[in-house]
Structure 1
Amino acid sequence: MCWSPAPDTAVTRCISHAEGLAVRATEEIHALVGEVRRVLRADGVFVYTVRHTGDAHYGAGRS
């Protein structure tokens, strides 16, 4: 995983689309969210999307 070199509280918006497809271990998810927390401003917005069993493409990705 490669982290952003952004300084603390420098980001106002962060979008992570279907990151669950690439991040598999709970520790990796915690690390991702921790980094977002570090760079996101107090009034910032973090949008994290994931696939679910109701998704039309569920099961079609890597396993």
Structure 2
Amino acid sequence: MVSEGIVAIGLLTKNDVQLLGPTFRRIWPDEETPCFSQLLQPIDEADRDLSRESDLSQAATPTDR
């Protein structure tokens, strides 16, 4: 049997889940997921780091005006 790896992890609204339809079968609502708040902290930190890097990159690149 071929092993299936994780393809994506995302935070979805109820509307997003409805749009994905009934074939979307692997979902774990945050209120049922242990340690969810501990997972959010590193995600938020990575997002801040990415934004900082993007801001620094844009500041270092001259713009045509």
Greater RCO between the two (CA within 8 Å, min separation 6)? Answer: 1
Structure with bigger helix share is 2
Do they fold alike, i.e. is TM over 0.5? no
Q: TM-score, normalised by structure 1?
A: 0.27
Q: Which has the larger radius of gyration?
A: 2
